[in-house]
């Protein structure tokens, strides 16, 4: 699976080369190389424990990698970080936190305000607009703990939108959300792609992969397959990633 | 007693008592505000371990100062020793948690070991007849009785600096507490933010040693924050309200211990803060017990009416 070193062309939003992450002595992902072209929308799929979240967190530098190199827009990730937004799993934070919905969205504006800068009216309007794009304008002053799971997910995505990033990385954005939220989120993500931005999402519902994503990265500790959905999302490759389960929903 | 208490509350019990009262109020405000962030970041027990880990440092600082020929009771010197020893306790805690020991177990181990060492050192000091150790044990439960003007000014000044730093760092602290991963990706040095929060918490512990004592200072960090959280869902309001509750508890507790000289200051302040919490749990809107039972009763009545029609 060790592909030759990808040349970080300018049209590559994210290039991962030979990335290995180990918890203890067991590699969670091993020598993963993958490229995510600019303007694409990629599903990272694979069974539980395949290392999907680990891969993305390591790519962002949130957990240390044993080996490998990651570049975003041709630059080392820390340098490119202002152009990247990350939406963690909803369960990653304590929602009984003393904050209102709009407070959380405004956290996405930290690069503009810094430690002490004022939230100007323009910035406030930007945060409100991001909430509105997810149909949450009426919830701005709600306490975040009073939201449903789907609404919490939308708030997280609104915070990412406020960052105005060119690369948006989401960890299971559709986990445990209802159909209305799922279609609201997918509409926003497709809107981002239409603007030439790049979307990468850990995804679990195999039946929606072809409709939602134009590329897939099939992962099971190693890269099983990577490429355009039509060519890559095939029963044989998916079965290989998931360990030969019967997957009749997938085109042969 | 009531007259004395009233006098003390109105700063009429003399210059020193007034200074002590102001010092205790400012300490309460600083500890309340800081504690709101400490509890939010789930560092309440860590701050308790730090507080207990100050004791060996107090004893050793006394010994050093007494050996240098002073009476060994200079507060700033004692606090320096306390701070160093608390920092060592924190480092021990960090090492222990890195060995996969659960954090609560590591906290318990550090807290009890340092406290035990401190008690041993204090006992040795009592038998040495060096300096003037009488009053060292007041660091356990706090006493405003022997407090000097300089001590009160130290507490006031330190509290003001702590609050100023807290205000400057508030945005980074809130973001780190809510979602550390996101905060890091937004360019916040979350390790530095966490360290700063621990230093500010330690500052409150040190400032509170003389007034509340090291065993109970953690309550002045936690309890006002818990009470304030029942009243508001906004961090800025929670922090300021916690500060206000801490300030009132501090002022009232200090005044009480002036009126009742046998009453240790620390427990008085802590019990007042707990009273504020108990009251809040009862009467706070929406989250209070009363508000919740009224809401439930109304809902039940509505459901019952719906069944009849």
Q: What is the DSSP string of A178-213?
A: -HHHHHHHHHHHHHHHHTT-EEEEE---GGGHHHH-
CB-based contact B186 A110, cutoff 8 Å = yes
CB-based contact A88 B179, cutoff 8 Å = yes
Using the predicted structure, report yes or no on whether residue A4 has a pLDDT greater than 70.
no
Q: What is the mean pLDDT of chain B?
A: 90
Percent of chain A with pLDDT over 90: 67
Average pLDDT over residues A53-60: 94
pLDDT at A3: 56
Contacts of B182 in chain A (CB under 8 A): 86, 88, 107, 159
Q: What is d(CA A225, CA B84) in angstroms, rounded to the nearest whole number?
A: 56
Residue to test with chain A: of B184, B186, B227, B242, most A Cβ within 10 A: B186
Average pLDDT over residues B263-268: 86
pLDDT at B56: 96
B233: nearest CA in chain A? A98
Average pLDDT over residues A44-68: 92
Using the predicted structure, report yes or no on whether residue A16 has a pLDDT greater than 60.
yes
Class of domain B2-308: mainly alpha
CB-based contact B178 A60, cutoff 8 Å = no
pTM: 0.88
CA distance B189 to chain A (A): 11
Strand bridging mode A167-171 / A198-202: parallel
Q: What is d(CA B4, CA B21) in angstroms, rounded to the nearest whole number?
A: 14
Cα→Cα distances B67→A62, A202, A230, B60, Å: 50, 65, 82, 10
CB pairs under 8 A between A and B: 69
Residues B66-79 have pLDDT tens digits of: 888 888 778 889 99
Lowest mean pLDDT, pick from A112-121, B107-116, B175-184, B199-208: A112-121
CB-based contact B235 A99, cutoff 8 Å = yes
Contacts of A61 in chain B (CB under 8 A): 184
CB-based contact A143 B172, cutoff 8 Å = no
Residues A240-252 have pLDDT tens digits of: 888 765 555 566 6
Using the predicted structure, report yes or no on whether residue A5 has a pLDDT greater than 70.
no
Using the predicted structure, report yes or no on whether residue A1 has a pLDDT greater than 50.
no
Domain assignments of chain B as residue spans, ordered by start? 2-308
Contacts of residue B219, defined as CB under 8 A and 6 or more positions apart, other chains included, come to: B212, B270, B273, B274
pLDDT at B263: 83
Q: What is d(CA B196, CA B35) in angstroms, rounded to the nearest whole number?
A: 13
Lowest mean pLDDT, pick from A68-82, A100-114, A158-172, B4-18: B4-18
Measured CB to CB, residues of chain A less than 8 Å from chain B are: 57, 60-62, 81-82, 84-86, 88, 92-94, 97-100, 103-104, 107-108, 110-111, 113, 115-116, 143, 145, 159, 163
Contacts of B226 in chain A (CB under 8 A): none
pLDDT band at B207 (very low <50, low <70, confident <90, very high): very high
SS3 label, residue A148:
coil
Contacts of B188 in chain A (CB under 8 A): 110
Facing residue for B181 by CB, picked from A81, A92, A111 = A92
Residues B86-103 have pLDDT tens digits of: 999 999 998 998 888 888
pLDDT at A252: 61
**Which stretches within chain A are classed as H helix?**
52-59, 77-80, 101-106, 110-113, 121-133, 149-162, 179-194, 209-212, 229-232, 235-242
Cα→Cα distances B69→B66, B126, B304, Å: 5, 17, 80
CB-based contact A100 B172, cutoff 8 Å = no
> Which has more pLDDT, A107 or B17?
A107
Residue to test with chain B: of A98, A106, A118, most B Cβ within 10 A: A98
Contact B219, B273 (CB under 8 A): yes
CB-based contact B235 A104, cutoff 8 Å = no
Average pLDDT over residues A124-132: 94
| Fold type of domain A12-242 | Rossmann fold (3.40.50)
B232: nearest CA in chain A? A98
Measured CB to CB, residues of chain B less than 8 Å from chain A are: 40, 168-169, 171-172, 174-175, 177-179, 181-188, 229, 232-235, 237-238
pLDDT at A56: 94
CB-based contact B229 A98, cutoff 8 Å = yes
């Amino acid at each position: 699976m060790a592909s030759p070193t990808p040349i970080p062309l300018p049209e590559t939003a994210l290039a991962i080369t030979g990335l290995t992450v180990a918890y203890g002595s067991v590699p969670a992902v091993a020598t993963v190389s993958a490229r995510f072209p600019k303007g694409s929308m990629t599903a990272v799929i694979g069974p539980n424990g395949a290392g999907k979240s680990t891969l993305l967190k390591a790519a962002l530098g949130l957990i240390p990698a044993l080996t490998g190199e990651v570049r975003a827009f041709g630059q080392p990730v820390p340098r490119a970080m202002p152009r990247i937004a990350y939406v963690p799993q909803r369960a990653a934070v304590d929602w009984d936190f003393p904050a209102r919905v709009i407070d959380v969205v405004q956290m996405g504006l930290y690069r503009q305000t810094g430690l002490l800068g004022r939230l100007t009216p323009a910035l406030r309007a930007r945060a409100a607009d991001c909430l509105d794009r997810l149909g949450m304008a009426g919830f701005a002053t709600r306490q975040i703990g009073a939201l449903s799971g789907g609404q919490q997910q939308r708030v997280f995505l609104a915070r990412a939108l406020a960052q105005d990033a060119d690369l948006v990385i989401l960890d299971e954005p559709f986990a445990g959300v209802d159909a209305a939220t799922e279609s609201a989120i997918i509409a926003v993500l497709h809107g981002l792609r239409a603007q030439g931005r790049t979307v990468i999402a850990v995804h679990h519902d195999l039946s929606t992969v072809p409709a939602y994503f134009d590329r897939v990265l099939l992962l099971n500790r190693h890269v099983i397959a990577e490429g355009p959905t039509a060519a890559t999302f095939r029963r044989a490759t998916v079965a290989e990633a998931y360990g030969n389960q019967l997957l009749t929903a997938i085109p042969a | 007693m009531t007259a004395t208490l009233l006098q003390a509350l109105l700063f009429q019990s003399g210059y020193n008592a007034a200074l002590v009262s102001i010092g205790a109020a400012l300490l309460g405000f600083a500890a309340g505000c800081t504690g709101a962030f400490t509890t939010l970041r789930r560092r309440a027990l860590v701050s308790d371990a730090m507080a207990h880990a100050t004791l060996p440092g107090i004893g050793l600082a006394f010994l050093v100062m007494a050996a240098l020929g002073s009476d060994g009771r200079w507060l700033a010197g004692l606090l320096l020793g306390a701070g160093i020893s608390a920092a060592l306790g924190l480092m021990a805690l960090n090492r222990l948690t890195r060995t996969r020991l659960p954090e609560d177990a590591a906290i318990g181990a550090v807290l009890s070991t340092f406290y035990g060492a401190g008690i041993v050192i204090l006992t040795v000091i009592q038998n040495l007849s060096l300096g003037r150790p009488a009053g060292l044990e007041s660091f356990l439960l706090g006493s405003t009785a022997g407090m000097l003007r300089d001590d009160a000014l130290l507490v006031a000044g330190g509290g003001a600096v702590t609050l100023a730093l807290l205000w400057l760092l508030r945005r980074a602290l809130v973001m780190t507490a809510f979602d550390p991963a996101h905060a890091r990706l937004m360019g916040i040095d979350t390790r530095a933010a966490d360290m700063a929060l621990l230093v500010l918490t330690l500052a409150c512990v040190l400032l509170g040693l003389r007034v509340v004592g090291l065993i109970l200072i953690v309550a002045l960090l936690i309890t006002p924050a818990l009470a304030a959280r029942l009243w508001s869902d906004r961090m800025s309001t929670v922090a300021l309200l916690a500060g206000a509750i801490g300030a009132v508890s501090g002022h009232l507790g200090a005044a009480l211990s002036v009126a009742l000289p046998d009453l240790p200051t620390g427990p008085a302040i802590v019990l007042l803060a707990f009273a504020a919490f108990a009251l809040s749990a009862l009467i706070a809107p929406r989250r209070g017990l009363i508000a919740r039972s009224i809401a439930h009763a109304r809902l039940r009545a509505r459901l019952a009416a719906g069944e009849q029609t």
